[in-house]
Structure 1
Amino acid sequence: MAKPTTQSRQSSHQASHPSARVLQLRKGATVEMVRLTCPDEAQALKIAESFGAAILDSDGIRDMHERLIIETASGLSDGLGERAMQIHLQRIVGAYVGSAHGAGQFYSRAVTEARDATAKGAAEARDEDLDGPVGYDSAAQRKREFAADMGIQAHALRMAAEGAVAAYEQIVGEVWKPFDRPVENPGQTLDRKAAAAQMSAFD
């Protein structure tokens, strides 16, 4: 008898948590968040030169995406009213910004892993009386190269997002902001769910 009760309590407890997480995720990524997580042009150039990667045409990427959004809006202008255009572009630009922010977060994690692996490799090399085996640092090297690739990608997506944001401002005449979906009575909803989860303990 105790086992089913425990399972129902756990499932009710677990059911209450995804909703709480969804509420927290309703805030959209901002351009500022992108700039904090994605390398800028100087950093991307430094990464490219250090790792022998292709040097991106940052201005070209930004300008191309700005033109792309402007041309898209122009093509839709006969079919969409002003407010509909604003809503549509808000979502399109939001997708660019969200993509760049996700890439920036991934890049940050990759850099942390590369730093940890490099520090570990250096510590192990110091602990050895003799030189470490050839290639002892290959895992750390792969992590550094991976982080460099992710940095270049995050920079490219940042430039695309910045171009899209610039286009939005030109077309709409306002600075782009993420759309934060309103949550109706969030406290009440969570309280009701918490009460339901507690009541299930008595079943």
Structure 2
Amino acid sequence: MASNRSKSSPKRETRQALTFEMALQLCPHEGVAENVAAAFGLIVPDYDAIRAEHASALKRMAEAFEGSLNDKATEMHFQRIVGALVGSAVGAGRFYSTKVGEARAATARAADGGDDEHGSPIGFESKAQRTREFAADMAMQAYALLAAAHGAIDAYKDLTGDDWKAYEAPAEAQVEKKAATAQIGAFGG
């Protein structure tokens, strides 16, 4: 007789929760953003304005519900929205960090006569220069996305009264224990 039981799924790796602290470590802070902007002729994103606008946007979103959500639903909904913005900042910070590493490596290779051994054609930038400029652009983007996440966290505190915490899935063992309890309960008694 064939069984229609599903096979157990392969063990999933638990993802590390993306926190604002991670974003702070990965993204450039104000001093780095100002130094990079000065060195590359870029404009530093207005951190305070971006932060305030994102906080305001989330508050307007909450107002649009006009009481349609209870407190728990509001908390869950905005926890996810803030999580997305924090995740975006973490991702941008990781990408920025990678590009800075690549820029350093390209600059070192060029200084040692590596990739740009024969120089670049007149009027064209070297590969190392383009790599540094791209890293600088990523610094400005990561800094701006950090500001957006910061504003979202501010709004979450105002909306819920609680500090935002990254969502962490329950441990696999807890889920399995709950499933086992439910299965045993199905037998009655």
Tell me, yes or no, whether TM beats 0.5: yes
2:65 alignment counterpart: 76
Tell me which stretches of 4 or more aligned residues in structure 1 moved more than 6 Å: none
Contact kept in structure 2, 1:77 and 1:85, CA below 8 Å: no
**Deviation for aligned residue 1:44:** 1.1
**Deviation for aligned residue 1:47:** 1.0
After superposition, residues 94-173 of structure 1 pair within 5 angstroms as 94-124=83-113, 133-135=118-120, 138-173=126-161
2:14 alignment counterpart: 24
Q: Which runs of 5+ in 2 are unaligned?
A: 1-8, 177-189
SS in 1 for 2:69: coil
TM-score by length of 2: 0.80
**Deviation for aligned residue 1:134:** 3.7
Distance 2:83 2:141 in 1: 18
Contact kept in structure 2, 1:66 and 1:164, CA below 8 Å: yes
Q: Which runs of 5+ in 1 are unaligned?
A: 1-14, 126-131, 189-203
TM-score by length of 1: 0.74
RMSD: 2.2
Distance 1:180 1:55 in 2: 34
Higher helix share: 1
Identity %: 43
Q: Deviations over 1:73-109 (max 9, x none)?
A: 1111411001100000000000000010001000000
**Deviation for aligned residue 1:142:** 0.8
